Structure 1
Amino acid sequence: MDVQGIDQLAERLASLVPPGLAQARQDLHANFKDILAQGLRRLDLVTREEFDVQSQVLARTRERLESLEKRVASLEAGATPSGQ
């Protein structure tokens, strides 16, 4: 959830406060926003962009690993004495 999403959620929560308590509504909005932001930080989340980058790195790593496994298997097959 981005900053704008947190702000929107905090606003929705604050809107539940009766209109006669305008000052309390503003204070609650600020408090809700801070509490939501702190809670999300504790979850140790990553952005979608960071996730996509890491997914691409993992895919390339898997491809490289498969290529190296085939190469090792080929080298092992060539090094095996023909009598065995």
Structure 2
Amino acid sequence: MAGSDRISRLAQQLGERLQDASHAPEEIQRSVHNVMRGAFDRMELVSREDFDILMDVLQRTRARVEALEKQVAALETALDQEATSALAAADSVAPPAQASGGVSEISESGESGEKDNPRKGAADNDDETGGAEKQ
């Protein structure tokens, strides 16, 4: 029986140690986790969830920037085409030197002013008849 007591005592001690050992991994894991979290906080690392959120925001922002770049390029192209067509239209109508000279000649001759203003012609006629009557 002494051998049997000895074996039972050994089994009991082994069982106690295994129970203590089964709790030890949880404590070790908890303590390692806390140490690592503190180190990550000091290194300013972010969690995977925060990283995924920031990546999503970055992708949406990048897509928006690319869309705006395309829109700006299209507007610049349209503006360049409009400016080119406006210059071509201005060149085909008349050169600037001829257009300004023609306007000044008409205004200096006074012909267009008399034809366009019927009252001036009527006033000239009144002066002629009025002058004849006075004499």
TM-score between the two structures when normalised by the length of structure 2: 0.36
Task: State yes or no: 1:53 paired with 2:70.
Answer: no
Which structure has the higher relative contact order (CA within 8 Å, separation 6+)?
Answer: 1
- Measured against aligned partners, the alpha-carbon deviations of 1:15-67 in whole angstroms (never above 9, x if no partner) come to xxxxxxxxxxxxxx86x666444322101111111000000000000100000
Aligned length: 59
Separation in 2, partners of 1:48, 1:55: 10
Unaligned runs of 5+ in 2: 1-24, 88-135
Separation in 2, partners of 1:38, 1:71: 47
Instruction: Give the superposed CA RMSD.
Output: 2.7
Structure whose residues are more often helix by fraction: 2
Separation in 2, partners of 1:65, 1:34: 41
Which structure has the bigger radius of gyration?
2
Give aligned-pair identity as a percent: 36
